[in-house]
Structure 1
Amino acid sequence: MEMTKEEFKKELQQRLKEKYAMDINDASSQELYNVLGSVVKAYYSDAWSNTWKDYLEDGQKQAYYFSIEFLPGKMLKSNLLNMGILETVEAGLADLGVSLDELAQVEQDMALGNGGLGRLASCFMDSIASCGLPGNGNGIRYDYGLFKQRFVDGYQVELPDEWLRNGNTWEVRKESKAVDVLFGGNVYLAEDTDGQLRPVYEGARRLRAVPYDTAVLGYQNHLVNTLRLWSVEIPESEEDHYRSIEDRRAFEDLTAVLYPDDSNERGRQTRLWQEYFFVSAGVQSIIRYYLRLNKPLDVLNEYVAIHINDTHPALCIPEMMRILMDEHGMSWEKAFNVTVKVMSYTNHTIMAEALEKWPVALMKENLPRMYQIIEELDRRFVNELTICYPENPELIQRTRIIQNEQVHMAHLAIICSHSTNGVAKLHSDLLKEVVLHDFYQLFPERFNNKTNGIAQRRWLQLANPKLSKVLDQTIGTTWRKTPGDLKLLQNYVEDQTVLDQLAEAKKSNKQRLASYIEETTGITVSPEAIFDVQIKRLHAYKRQLLNLLHILKLYFDLKDDPKKVQESRLFIFGAKAAPSYTYAKSIIKAINEVANLINNDPDINGRIKVVFLENYNVHLAELIIPAADVSEQISLASKEASGTSNMKLMLNGAITLATLDGANVEIRDAVGDDNVVIFGMTEREVYQYYERQDYVAKDYYDQSPVLQRILNAFVDGTIPNIYFEGREIFDSLLKHNDEYFVLRDFDAYVKAQEKIDGLYRDQHHWQQMSLMNIANAGRFSADDTMMRYAEEIWHIEPVEQYSKKKG
């Protein structure tokens, strides 16, 4: 998108006068940000409109990515980068005495996700557009982000994340595209005048789904896709049904927050309503668009692919069936055939207990038509299996959609789609061999792997301009469009000048993060220390607790021997715990109290510092990741589906300290054993414990004076202010037998950390390892991942390629 610096300055000043009737010097940062956003939108609006028109006119097949979470982060700089005008705008603002970085601080994170699932969806949206692919996102426009995390006396406190308080510059409300969604009531089938059975709805609640569209810009390719987020409103015809405060609140909760507390009946109902709301609205919108192509519905799969990102959007399946049968008179057999060809599903969990299930009674009451269709899907599936496997009733029972008065959403997604993929090689293998083995036996052709990837534009070009500049000077700029070209950096592994430049970029990023830490926490940290980083959702299987036990060991070692040779360490945590996850919140409290203990102990003299940064989000990740020396990826082998922080940290030159879990296996394969530090049990060893059921955590405690001292610290007052939390953690490891094998892996983890210490002492070798990680990170580009989805699952083509073929 061509634009000179002078043209930009003139446009900005003119719009500022039109919008606020003021000059640059009189405007606040918020006002300047709003105006800059409107200028940027004006620049891409034609491309956005033209992209949509081209899709409609060409009838090219499109993919629709359904996800209950999206974590786009801040979009100003990303949009400027993808438009190719980042440097022009930065220079133009500087001429006017304005800092682009300061304006970017004004923008609120679009924190519409909980962690990896939402960030992955946003990376994928960026890559779909940047690969020139026809694809759009579909989700919920939550009034509040997940929550704003604050620490009070070391405890996590959840505050509302009012991300829309000053509006959202990037969204466009599309009232004309609104649709109605029905909930509750009673549904029965009755013959119409043609003798066909049609559903009759009685007493259903009708809500209005209004889309807010956000442009997703491809990287310097003039293609602009759409992320459509749905917000709920009350239709005028339904106003009388929502007179009481309680009714209003129930309606408002529908798109208020992500993952409302499901520990009570009302919370569970809200979650189910949320899932159906954005699914129904999205599928209705897709069908309405498709009908404009004037194509018959029985070839829908030739023009539309719908992707179910985890099980939350699995209601896409019965909703598609409902629309095809109830609204367009298609037979069950044809509707099912079309639906299977349209739908594909990504599984994001290995843990069977995390696979989503809904009580039959709850679904019957709230989504009666959906339940009727699911019940019939289940009945027909059981009948088919009974014919094919009459001798194996156990298989039928294990795989059916409805069992034990619960609807199994993963079963629904697998049975009624044409593709099920895992998100790392290990994960996909475990799905086939263990978690979903029955389904793999039934549908082997449907299972495949698509290892996750990251949008390297954001996580390198935007987050780490210092490193990006070194790369440009060393290997040229082709890596910016073709991440695989980072491989060229391997040619410089013996070049001391390049190694020094990489080290200088890392040091600068560490100084930037150290300044942020001091400003926000008051804790002074040394950029010379090893920055040891664990940033991910707080969950027991991710084993932040293992990290904490090791920190305590280092602390006790230094207390016993202040002269011990040990590299200075800064341990950085960033994580939110789900509001109802009390155990995770106890671990947060414990980490914060250990931090207070160590950071204020004069005997330690700053050789260990522990910092837990509040409110971890995309923007904070962009500060932490470029500064990291060590990437903690220490989940119990077999529990993490993939992980993507491992890829982001690797890309920025951190050394991965990891178990062989998720995509860590592929990171090791990419960089070689000499450039990662691996420890702990393999997934096979974990499953052997499960089979034998002979793990006794207390044996490790009884046999290790080191572990005794560390664990006793949680209950004997050594760590202050954790009387209840310390006991909970102590009991989880010993009384409840350490579900995630923290004690089993502790010694191996300590040895791995000692290896890290030794490697860091040899800075030349450390920089070589860092270089090799950067050079091999192109393998984990979301661009490559999306091209595999496009070719192997969705069967869509890049726009230019399609146009040439058509021409």
Structure 2
Amino acid sequence: MDDFSITDFASARTAGADALRKRIEHHLVFSFGKDRNAAQLTDWRLALSRAIRDEVVVPWFETTRRVYRQDGKRVYYLSLEFLIGRLLHDATVNLGLEDKARAAMESIGIDYDRVVLDEPDAALGNGGLGRLAACFMDSMASIGLPAYGYGIRYDHGLFRQGFDHGWQTEEAEDWLAQSHVFEFERAEAAIPVGYGGEVVPGSGDSARWNPAETVIAAAYDTPIPGWQGKWVNTLRLWAAQPTRAFELSAFNRGEHVAAATPAILARTISRVLYPDDSTPQGRELRLRQEYFFTAASLRDILRRFEKQYGDLSLLPHKVAIQLNDTHPAIAGPELIRLLVDERGLSFDAAYDIASGCLNYTNHTLMPEALERWSYDLMRHVLPRHIGLIERIDERHASDCAAKGRTISADVRAIDHGEVRMGNLAFIMARRVNGVSALHTELVKQTVFGELNDLHPDRVVNETNGVTPRRWLYSCNPPLRTLLLDTIGDRWISDLEALEAVAPYADDAAFRERFAAAKRDNKRRLSDFIARRSGVAIDPDAMFDVQIKRLHEYKRQLLNILETVALYNEMKRNPAADWTPRVKMFGGKAAPGYQMAKLIIKLINDVAAVVNTDESLDGRLRIVFPANYNVSMAERLIPAANLSEQISTAGMEASGTGNMKFALNGALTIGTLDGANVEIAERVGPENIFIFGLNTGEVAALRGHYNPGEFIENSPRLREVLGQIETGAFSPDDPGRFHQLTDNLRHQDWFMLCADFDAYFDAQRRVDAAWKDPAAWVRSAILNTARSGWFSSDRTIRGYARDIWGADPSA
């Protein structure tokens, strides 16, 4: 498409709401074949989405031209998840078209807010890992950093969560049942990906891999506009397709199911996020997924590089590849394979080039979460790569020996019949980064202690951040309006400018407006909860929120145990001046994670008792709306008064929910874990509620921890466990939760018992603080004002400077 045909198409960004309305009506008719009089809400949403997408194309093309003109280093971000949520409103806001879109839809007679809420969330992620990747894509575009995101275009994502008598149920997401209008299919960019087969030695270091089966990685591009639409990057997602869509000969023989089986098996690779790996088939599918998107992405990167450059030695100077966790860790041997087997380089030359391009973000300190594959499975699925991983281990050992260092088996990529992807990622990386100051230091001391000792300059810290465009400007209109009226709009692209709000914490009129904005959000959330869960909640009660994936280390169980203890105290002293409180939970448990699913059931069973106890007079409510996702977070976070960040110290790498809550004026109750440490430093100890063991105390207690002693010394905890064990919340099945309570009494790896009393006491400090509304709102304002450092713009500038060596354009 030439410049004339693009720029000659009137842009609503310059021509106004009327031009946008005409574009919407054009797409309704000519893109979707609907008459205006017959159009439904979804039809209007699709038409508006296509009109907004039109507005992205011109800056998208211009960004590509600028990237080629500038001839700088490009960043490629490989992530198994991109939890991007809804795209329509996000793009509309970043392009500066929100007011015009509202006016255009109003002129048609359609409510803009209803239109954007009609969009399904893109089912491309699960939790913080995927949402971080989405925030990073927004920030890379907003600061003008040349970047591509690479992931998988899941048909069904994780799953749609429901509850059946309090038990989690899982159904397939159907977000692609409707047209995903923001993407562009790129048939010309399809890439073959092989599995299994045999390896035939070649000359020198090369070999010929003859895969037994091949699937096609089909490319779908979504443009990601940054703030004000000045720069637009690309998210390229791969969908697995068969090399042949249908086996006609088998069909003609009457083998109708067999005729479609190869296509079904190929498409299974991009069917769901995180297939259950409790079976051999599930583990193999997950490995296939990870290789699928990594291999396709690396081929695409090399193709783009070679189109512009002929010298492969330039690759580390022009390409920075970021591995988001260990899922794409196969990138090291795969990039070496492409350079050795297909481009004729020696192994050592390929190793040097690959390790100059690759970087690895670690997201966990738990060894079991650092992926490991059996040697036999890796050899079966990727027979060429297992040999290259062995060569990588040899080269790494040789390099260390040349420096007078010997290595133990603990740092090898292959040991005891396992391929350890964390070690592989570290060995092949130019830089390894943690995601909070505490986490980075623990990475150096624990999971990668010996590797850090061997490579002391490799590990760096880049504390996570969140995009202020989605997580304040877009999701919190009442607070956005107040901030714009008070300090202007600089904070949208420079979040640390929020510091200018701090003096207003002592202004009574500003505190009143801040509180009114929070109550407006709470009222809207109350209406949502009533519709979704059928539970009436008081907007003037404290909204106490814990939203994150269900995992024992995140300690939703600690939260509900304390809630039961509070319930008991309220029953014993009904006339006391109890703080009205709504306990809100949100999150999904992995389908095969039985303990997490049991915790969900316990929360819902306790809710069933508490919410129907009329003696409480509504002063305590528990709600757990099903199917937590980005869109639900955008409702919950602006309305929260208290943010629950209560993980076992030393186990949460960073967190980003903690940042979003503080940014939106919620006070944190939490342990000194992950980024809570840095939040506490910035907001001040008087504006946060810290409790419990710290990382050093957890480590010191670990070897001789006896949870029974803590239970015996805590009458409240002893009472709560006794109630649960005798069926107070499960009279139909008194033994339902014995697995949970037995674990707490005899193992309690996550030290809930040790922290229970401190947590209960911290919650009573919260109650006391709530009783002084002016002081509470003052603290909330200071949380917002001092959260500016937790911007993903700042994080990405740090990556660009410390890891990638890339230059932003803004």
Q: TM-score, normalised by structure 2?
A: 0.95
Residues 538 and 725 of structure 1: CA distance in aligned 2, closer, same or farther (over 3 Å): farther
Q: Deviations over 1:605-648 (max 9, x none)?
A: 21100001100000000000000000000000000000000000
Matched, 1:307 2:318: no
Distance 1:365 1:190 in 2: 20
Distance 1:133 1:3 in 2: 28
Q: Who is 2:73 aligned against?
A: 61
> Which residue type is aligned with residue 282 of structure 1?
S
Offset of residue 724 of structure 1: 4.4
Unaligned runs of 5+ in 1: 801-807
Report if the CA contact (8 A) 2:168-2:597 is conserved.
yes
Report if the CA contact (8 A) 1:550-1:750 is conserved.
yes
Q: Deviations over 1:478-529 (max 9, x none)?
A: 1122111100001111100100000000001000000001111111000111
Q: Who is 2:31 aligned against?
A: 19
Offset of residue 19 of structure 1: 3.3
Structure 2 counterpart of 1:362, from 372, 377, 395: 377
Report if the CA contact (8 A) 1:71-1:618 is conserved.
yes
Report if the CA contact (8 A) 1:593-1:722 is conserved.
no
Q: What pairs with 1:99-498 in structure 2 (closer than 5 Å)?
A: 99-191=111-203, 196=204, 198-202=206-210, 204-236=212-244, 243=258, 247-386=262-401, 388=403, 395-498=407-510
Q: Deviations over 1:175-227 (max 9, x none)?
A: 00111111100112134xxxx45422345211111110000101114211000
Matched, 1:733 2:744: yes
Offset of residue 560 of structure 1: 1.4
Offset of residue 250 of structure 1: 2.8
Structure 1 counterpart of 2:632, from 606, 620, 634: 620
> Which residue type is aligned with residue 178 of structure 2?
N
Residues 662 and 3 of structure 1: CA distance in aligned 2, closer, same or farther (over 3 Å): farther
> Which residue type is aligned with residue 731 of structure 1?
D
> Which residue type is aligned with residue 521 of structure 1?
S
Q: Who is 1:583 aligned against?
A: 595
Structure 1 counterpart of 2:759, from 728, 740, 749: 749
Residues 357 and 506 of structure 1: CA distance in aligned 2, closer, same or farther (over 3 Å): same
Residues 203 and 345 of structure 1: CA distance in aligned 2, closer, same or farther (over 3 Å): closer
Residues 734 and 354 of structure 1: CA distance in aligned 2, closer, same or farther (over 3 Å): same
Q: Who is 2:46 aligned against?
A: 34
> Which residue type is aligned with residue 146 of structure 2?
P
> Which residue type is aligned with residue 294 of structure 2?
V
Q: Who is 1:804 aligned against?
A: none
Distance 2:201 2:667 in 1: 61
Report if the CA contact (8 A) 1:460-1:468 is conserved.
yes
> Which residue type is aligned with residue 682 of structure 1?
N
Distance 1:147 1:724 in 2: 29
Q: Deviations over 1:303-335 (max 9, x none)?
A: 111000000001111111011111111111111
Report if the CA contact (8 A) 2:34-2:43 is conserved.
no
Distance 2:262 2:805 in 1: 44
Distance 2:264 2:241 in 1: 12
Distance 2:593 2:265 in 1: 24
Q: Secondary structure at the match of 1:562?
A: coil
Distance 1:85 1:530 in 2: 35
Offset of residue 37 of structure 1: 1.2
Report if the CA contact (8 A) 1:59-1:293 is conserved.
no
Report if the CA contact (8 A) 2:246-2:259 is conserved.
no
Q: Who is 1:805 aligned against?
A: none
> Which residue type is aligned with residue 155 of structure 1?
W
Matched, 1:782 2:792: yes
Distance 2:108 2:609 in 1: 48
Q: Deviations over 1:754-781 (max 9, x none)?
A: 0000001000000100000000111100
Q: Who is 1:760 aligned against?
A: 770
Q: Who is 1:796 aligned against?
A: 806
Report if the CA contact (8 A) 1:714-1:729 is conserved.
no
Offset of residue 136 of structure 1: 1.1
Query: RMSD across aligned C-alpha pairs, in angstroms?
Result: 1.6
Report if the CA contact (8 A) 1:64-1:306 is conserved.
yes
Distance 2:301 2:76 in 1: 9
Q: TM-score, normalised by structure 1?
A: 0.96
Worse overlay, 42-51 or 366-375: 42-51
Q: Deviations over 1:697-731 (max 9, x none)?
A: 11122233222210011111211245444111111
Offset of residue 243 of structure 1: 4.5
Offset of residue 798 of structure 1: 1.7
Distance 1:154 1:68 in 2: 30
Report if the CA contact (8 A) 1:587-1:725 is conserved.
no
Unaligned runs of 5+ in 2: 1-12, 251-256
Report if the CA contact (8 A) 2:662-2:668 is conserved.
yes
Distance 1:32 1:669 in 2: 47
How many corresponding residue pairs?
Answer: 790
> Which residue type is aligned with residue 329 of structure 2?
A
Residues 203 and 661 of structure 1: CA distance in aligned 2, closer, same or farther (over 3 Å): closer
Q: Percent identity over the alignment?
A: 39
Q: Who is 1:803 aligned against?
A: none
Worse overlay, 435-444 or 576-585: 435-444
Report if the CA contact (8 A) 2:439-2:654 is conserved.
yes
Report if the CA contact (8 A) 2:144-2:808 is conserved.
yes
Report if the CA contact (8 A) 1:714-1:722 is conserved.
no
Offset of residue 661 of structure 1: 0.1
Q: What pairs with 1:716-727 in structure 2 (closer than 5 Å)?
A: 716-720=726-730, 721=732, 723-727=734-738
Report if the CA contact (8 A) 2:239-2:267 is conserved.
no
Distance 2:211 2:372 in 1: 26
Distance 1:581 1:215 in 2: 35
Distance 1:334 1:384 in 2: 14
Report if the CA contact (8 A) 1:386-1:396 is conserved.
no
Offset of residue 111 of structure 1: 2.2
Q: Who is 1:645 aligned against?
A: 657
Q: Secondary structure at the match of 2:669?
A: strand
Offset of residue 252 of structure 1: 2.2
Q: Secondary structure at the match of 2:14?
A: coil
> Which residue type is aligned with residue 104 of structure 2?
G
Residues 15 and 507 of structure 1: CA distance in aligned 2, closer, same or farther (over 3 Å): same
Q: Secondary structure at the match of 1:714?
A: helix
Offset of residue 386 of structure 1: 4.7
Offset of residue 244 of structure 1: 5.5
